Every structure is written in C-alpha cells, then in structure tokens.
Amino acid sequence: MRARPGEAGRWLIERGGYKGDDCLMWPFSTKRQGYGAVLYGGKIMGAHRAMCFIAHGEPPTPDHEAAHYCRGGQLGCVNPRHIRWATTLENARDRILHQTTTAKLSPADIADVLRMVGEGTKQREIAKRLGVHEATISRVVHNKARVRIA
C-alpha cells in the first residue's frame, strides 16, 4: 500500500508505544530488501530506524544503527520492542545469529572485515584477501549485506 504524505510517519508515531510481542509489520511499500522507508524528521530513512528514534530517542552516537532482536527486519518489522540502537558490529552479529545474511562470507570473515576496516585497511585490499568483489565488502561495511553463512 502506498502512503499519502505524512500517513506513514503518523502510523509509526501512533505505534511508538506498542507493547505486543509479535512482529509489527510495516503496511506500506518497502524497498527491495524488505525494509520500509519513511520521511521522518525531514530525512528519508528506514521505517525501523524512525521507530527506533520514536521509541528509544537519539542514538548513542551518529554511527549507531537500528538493529532488530527478531528475524523480521527484512520482512518489515517495526515493533519498537524488537528494535534497539546497536553498533555496526553488533548489528552484523545479529544478522549472523538470525541467519538473515546471503553472500559467501563466514561469520568469522564478516568479523574480520569489520575489524580490518576499523584498523584502516582499504576495502579493495580486504576483498583481495577474501577473494570476493569489493562491492561485497562495501555492503558488509555499510550494513547492506545479506551474507550467507558458508
């Protein structure tokens, strides 16, 4: 369903105090990866990230991401009880734990990628070491990868 201007943001705000345990599914259109998008605070962002702002306030740092406790993130879950602020590494570990990943990197590979990036290693060099395309490394770094556990 396509939202009228402001409708999606209002929908999220009305559900910011949702107390249910089941996934609360985004009823509006989604991006290719299954995540909803919404205009919130003057910015277009993932619906789950907007819900994290609504339910939990500002992130601890600008680098924190909205991460899911559940496996429903890529299915459109925006339950405020299923979402929290997390570091990129914590979010990557969640994706491994939930098995919501799709490229051919092992959990250890993903941890190595994030460690090497943190140490300043160029993505091109990491890709070469692991025998994958540089775009795969970029997706891991920018939290867009769905990396299948090898």
SS3 57: coil
Instruction: State pTM to two decimals.
Output: 0.66
Does 73 share its domain with 4?
Answer: yes
Does 96 share its domain with 81?
Answer: no
pLDDT digits (tens, 9 = 90+) for 19-68: 999 999 999 988 767 788 898 889 999 999 999 999 999 999 999 999 99
Does 102 share its domain with 52?
Answer: no
> What local confidence, expressed as pLDDT, does residue 25 receive?
95
pLDDT digits (tens, 9 = 90+) for 66-105: 999 888 887 899 999 999 999 988 887 887 777 766 556 7
Does 72 share its domain with 32?
Answer: yes
pLDDT score of 148 more than 50: no
Domain range for 150 is 87-150
CATH number at 35 reads 3.90.75
pLDDT digits (tens, 9 = 90+) for 7-20: 999 999 999 999 99
> What local confidence, expressed as pLDDT, does residue 102 receive?
54
Question: Is the model more confident about 133 or about 122?
Answer: 122
Long-range residue pairs from 114-123, CB within 8 A, at least 24 positions apart, any chain: 114/88, 114/89, 114/140, 114/141, 117/141
